[in-house]
Structures are given as structure tokens and as C-alpha cells.
Amino acid sequence: MKMRKVYFWSWFPALLTMTIIFWFSSQPSVELPDFAWADRLVKKSGHVLGYALLAVSYWLALGLDEKSYRLAWLLTILYAMTDEYHQSFVLGRHASAWDVVIFDNFGALVSLWWARQYLKQKRPSDSI
């Protein structure tokens, strides 16, 4: 029983982040706030931040080692692809491969790189 609890709690941040991303992408475009001149900047920054958090959450759940570093990135990109597909069914929204390739990928790569550098400083003897 204890192992199941530990396993669930290690995945909880990733599951929560996926739920929040899904909720945001479920909002019809008519209900989204209009940020006037900064509209694209705010929304694309949301992509970068959301997928940055998701990538690090995946890596944390997978154990923070070198092999899981790449798997965390792959899972993040796969989730981004499925979420863009999901958006194609939402009123006024559309799927964009560019969001995945540029913004989601950038967020994932930068956050994983940063987390990896941080861990290398904290554990210099380990090869992360």
C-alpha cells in the first residue's frame, strides 16, 4: 500500500499540470480574455510556462536520471501534440503544430536543461 502512495504522489505534480493545461485548452476562444497588443505574448508565454512545468514534473516522477531526462521531454511533446489535437474540437480554437514545435518544445527543453544544471551543482559527483 505504501509503495502505491509514493508512486501516486510522485506523479501528482505531472497529473495536476496536465489537468490545468487541458482545462486552459478547453476554453472556447470567445471566453478567453483579450490582452490587446500583448495577446500573442501572453498566450505563447503560457505555452512555454505550462510545458516547462510539465517536463520537470515528468522528470521528477521518472526519477531525475539521464535516461528519464529524455523520456520526460518525449512525454511532454507527446502530451503537447495530443492537447493541440484536443483544441481542434474546441469552439474557435485550432490545432497548431507550431505551438508544439516552437513554444511547447522550447519550454520543455529550457526547463529540463535548467533543472539538470541545478542538479549537477547540487550533486557534482553524480552524472546527470
Structure pTM? 0.84
Q: What confidence tens digit (pLDDT) does each residue in 71-106 have?
A: 999 999 999 999 999 998 988 888 889 999 999 999
Distances (CA, A) of 101 to 3, 61, 76: 36, 24, 11
All cell numbers assigned to 116 = 539538470
- Taking the C-alpha atoms of residue 71 and residue 57, their distance in angstroms, rounded to an integer, is 12
**Residue 75 CA from chain centroid, whole number:** 9
Domain boundaries, the chain: 2-26+38-122
